[in-house]
A = this chain, B = another copy of it.
Amino acid sequence: VNERVSISIVGASGYSGAELLRLMLRHPHIQIEKLFANSSAGKHLHDLYPEFRGRLSKVFEPYSIDAVSTSRVVFLALPSGEAMNLAPDLLANGKIVIDLGGDFRLRNTQDYETYYKHTHHAPDLLQRAVYGLAEWNQEKIKSASLIANPGCYPTSAILPLLPMLKEKLIEPSGITITAMSGVSGAGRKADLSLSFCEVNDSVKAYKVAEHQHIPEINQTLSDFTGEAISVSFVPHLIPITRGIYTTIHATLKPNTSRERVAEAFEKYYANAAFVRVLKNELPELRGVACTNFTDIGFRIAEKTNHLILCSAIDNLTKGAAGQAIQNFNLKFGFNETDGVN
């Protein structure tokens, strides 16, 4: 059958929103209904994103719960602190909500408030929300009505780490994560620090020890391993538009061979549609641009007995919109790769 599920996007004018649209245009089972974006209400999609001219004719609308009524699924692609105000109503109206933001990822409201600097207004939904890490949480995703799509940095760090931790190949302490992100990760906005002249030819670390993805990484690694894990994480802004490259140093347990590492990845990802574990190469960001793949490579530094893990994702695809559609597919029983292949 050729069922199409009607969806709407709230916050459709941002980069994640546009990426959802780029992918959905190819999705055989999605009917794009409404694009909500208060700040751009009245503008055409192609005014902001000329690539859609002649391919998708839509006008941004101001959001209201009534306007969304005919959609079965609502994707939220909003700045943090906004989704928690909308989700309760949407769920009460029977919508399935896939939130690309951070409002429903942390179960601990204290962590949320510390790192996101907002009070949480819908704390009761935190237990109901399912963390949409598609490769690891499929069963729960299938039955979820509120899916908290993972953050971009967490996706890039958790996917290489979990098989190593599950198989106890690395020490759970002393893990250091250094990540580089393209500028689209900061969102579409007029901000001097994101202007071409400030970013081009430069690099800067930011939010060191303060980034809101730290508790998300820790929570997820701890959840799936049963151990309390706390990582050291430093993100950087680099002059690229899309993509995250993450390099992890972890202490290898004694007598762990290269083969053992490869086997662990094989065990967990042999059938993963969107994880490619490289045998000898190290990932390059250009290999995952505009795709939903996570490329993972590794090396053993024998002198210090570290395992080095490198991963590459497109922050807008696997790190946001692509994984959201992957979750949509899992939820509705479509092919996992529909629209994201």
Closest chain B residue to A201, Cβ basis: B240
Q: Which residues of B contact A301 (CB under 8 A)?
A: 208-209, 232
Q: Which residues of B contact A192 (CB under 8 A)?
A: 188-190
**8 Å CB contact of A247 from B183, B236, B297:** B236
Query: How many angstroms between the C-alpha atoms of A341 and B54 in the bound complex?
Result: 11
A166: Cβ under 8 A from any B Cβ: no
A50: Cβ under 8 A from any B Cβ: yes
Q: Which residues of B contact A241 (CB under 8 A)?
A: 196-197, 200-201
Closest chain B residue to A25, Cβ basis: B341
Query: How many angstroms between the C-alpha atoms of A278 and B208 in the bound complex?
Result: 14
Q: Which residues of B contact A285 (CB under 8 A)?
A: 201-204
Residues of A27-51 at the interface with B, using a CB-CB cut-off of 8 Å, are 49-51
Q: Known: A198-B286, A202-B284, A203-B284. Is A303-B230 also a contact (CB below 8 A)?
A: yes
Query: How many angstroms between the C-alpha atoms of A306 and B174 in the bound complex?
Result: 9
Smallest CB separation, A8 vs chain B (Å)? 24
Digitize A168-187: 1 where CB-to-B-CB distance is under 8 Å, 0 elsewhere.
00000010101010111000
Q: Which residues of B contact A214 (CB under 8 A)?
A: 303
A191: Cβ under 8 A from any B Cβ: yes
Smallest CB separation, A61 vs chain B (Å)? 20
Q: Known: A190-B192, A197-B15, A249-B176. Is A51-B230 also a contact (CB below 8 A)?
A: no
Stretch at the interface among A67-75, A125-133, A288-296: A288-296
Query: How many angstroms between the C-alpha atoms of A239 and B240 in the bound complex?
Result: 8
A122: Cβ under 8 A from any B Cβ: no
Complex copy number for this chain: 4
Q: Which residues of B contact A139 (CB under 8 A)?
A: none
A199: Cβ under 8 A from any B Cβ: yes
A4: Cβ under 8 A from any B Cβ: no
Closest chain B residue to A49, Cβ basis: B287
- Could you tell me if B50 and A283 are in contact, using CB atoms closer than 8 angstroms? yes
Query: How many angstroms between the C-alpha atoms of A208 and B251 in the bound complex?
Result: 15
Q: Which residues of B contact A197 (CB under 8 A)?
A: 15, 182-184, 188, 194, 241
- Could you tell me if A191 and B201 are in contact, using CB atoms closer than 8 angstroms? no
Interface-centre pick from A176, A188, A249 (highest chain B CB count, 10 A)? A176
- Could you tell me if A304 and B232 are in contact, using CB atoms closer than 8 angstroms? yes
Smallest CB separation, A39 vs chain B (Å)? 11
Closest chain B residue to A232, Cβ basis: B306
Q: Which residues of B contact A278 (CB under 8 A)?
A: 53
Closest chain B residue to A310, Cβ basis: B205
Q: Known: A189-B195, A191-B190. Is A201-B283 also a contact (CB below 8 A)?
A: no
A242: Cβ under 8 A from any B Cβ: yes
Lowest 5 A-B CB distances belong to which pairs?
A50-B287, A178-B178, A209-B301, A202-B286, A176-B249
14 pairs of residues in contact across A and B, judged by CB atoms under 8 Å: A51-B286, A51-B291, A53-B276, A54-B293, A183-B195, A184-B197, A188-B195, A190-B190, A201-B240, A203-B245, A205-B247, A232-B306, A236-B245, A249-B249
| 13 more A-B residue pairs beyond the given contacts A51-B286, A232-B249, with a C-beta to C-beta distance below 8 A | A50-B286, A180-B238, A183-B196, A183-B200, A195-B195, A197-B241, A200-B239, A201-B285, A203-B243, A203-B285, A205-B245, A234-B308, A239-B240
